[in-house]
Amino acid sequence: MKTFRVPPNRWLFVRAETNDGIVGWGESTLEGHTEAIEGAFNDLWRFIGVEADNIVDIWQVFALDSLRGPVLMSALSGLDIALWDIKGKRHGIPVWKLLGGKIRDRIKVYGWIGGDQPSDVLDAAKNRKAEGFTCVKMNATDIVARIDSPEVLRGTVERVQQLQSVGLDVGIDFHGRFHKGMAKQLAKLLEPLHPLFIEEPLLPTQPEEIADISHLVSTPIALGERLYTCFDFRPYLERRVIDIAQPDVSHCRGITELHRIA
C-alpha cells in the first residue's frame, strides 16, 4: 500500500497491490489535511499481508478498533475503496455490479463556483454555463459574525438572483458558517427564490437546531459530508430533517459504509 499526495496537497490517493499483481485505487482526501491522513496510514500498514478479498473483515478490525473521526475514517475510506477496486478487477466485474447493478444511465450534476469572494461568483457561473452546466452551487457567504449586518443576507439573496437571471439553478452551501439566528433569517429570505437546496444550514453538531430550520422553510435541506457512519445519519433521518443525504465516500468509511447509509 502506498499513498500519493496530489498538489496543491488537497487530494490524497491510495494504491494497494496484491501479491498476484492486482492494483486497486482509493481516495482518502480530507479537504487539504493530507499530512494527517498520511499519519493515519501508519496505523493501516498493519493490514499489509492480509487477504485483500476480505473487505468487511479488514474494515471491521479497523473501524471497530478506532476512535471515530474524520482523519482515521477518511484513511479507512481510501483503503476500503481500493479493496473494492481490487475485488472488482479480480472477478472482472465493475463495483457497481457487485453492489446490485445500475439504476440510471445519466445523473444531473452541478458546477461548483466558490462564493467566498462574492464578486467572482457571476463570472464563474457564466463559465459553468458555457461548459454546459444548468445548475451551480456556491457558498452563501464568506465568514460571518454571530449576528452580522442584514447587508450580508441581502448580498447572498442578490447573488442568487443574479445567477438565476442568467438561467441557472442554484444550490446554496451555508457550510455551517452561520449561527442559528442568521441561518434562520437567510433560509427564510431564500425560500421564495426556490434554491435547489440549502446545504449544512448549521454544523452537524446541532441536529435539533437543524431540524428547527428544516421545518421552518420548504427549501430542501442537504447535509452529510461531515457525517461518518450510518449512525451519524440516524438522528437526521428519524427527525425527517434532510431531503438530500450527502455522505462523502472519502470520509464515510468507504463504499462499505456508503452502501449501508444508502
Q: 245 - beta bridge partners?
A: 223
* Cβ-based nearer residue to Mg ion, 31 or 123: 31
What is the smallest separation between the CB atom of 248 and Mg ion, expressed in angstroms? 9
Contact string (CB under 5 A) for Mg ion, positions 163-182, x = contact: ----------x---------
Query: What is the bridge-based pairing of β-strands 2-6 and 11-17?
Result: antiparallel
Cβ at position 244, least distance to Mg ion in Å? 11
Q: Give 182's contacts (C-beta < 8 A, 6+ positions apart).
A: 144, 146, 147, 148, 152, 153
Q: Which is nearer to Mg ion, 85 or 173 (CB)?
A: 173
Q: Please state the closest distance from residue 106 (CB atom) to Mg ion, in A.
A: 23
Q: 135-139 and 169-173 as β-strands: parallel, antiparallel, unpaired?
A: parallel
Select 62 or 110, whichever has its Cβ closest to Mg ion. Answer: 110
Smallest separation (angstroms) from Mg ion to the CB of 185: 20
If you search the block for the grid coordinates 474494515, which residue do you land on? 59
User: Is the distance from CB of 122 to CB of 163 less than 8 angstroms?
Assistant: yes
Binding to Mg ion by CB under 5 A, coded x per residue (else -) over 43-62, reads --------------------
| DSSP letters spanning 92-121 | T--HHHHTT--S-S-----EE---SSGGGH
CA-CA-CA-CA dihedral for 148, 154, 159, 160, to nearest 10: 110
- The nearer residue to Mg ion, 3 or 141, going by C-beta atoms, is 141
Between residues 86 and 252, which has the closer beta carbon with respect to Mg ion?
252
d(CA 35, CA 39): 6
For Mg ion, the nearest residue by Cβ is 173
Using CB under 5 A as the binding rule, whether residue 248 contacts Mg ion is answered as no
CB 203, min distance to Mg ion, A:
11
CB of 175 to Mg ion, least distance (A): 6
Interface residues toward Mg ion, by CB under 5 A: 173
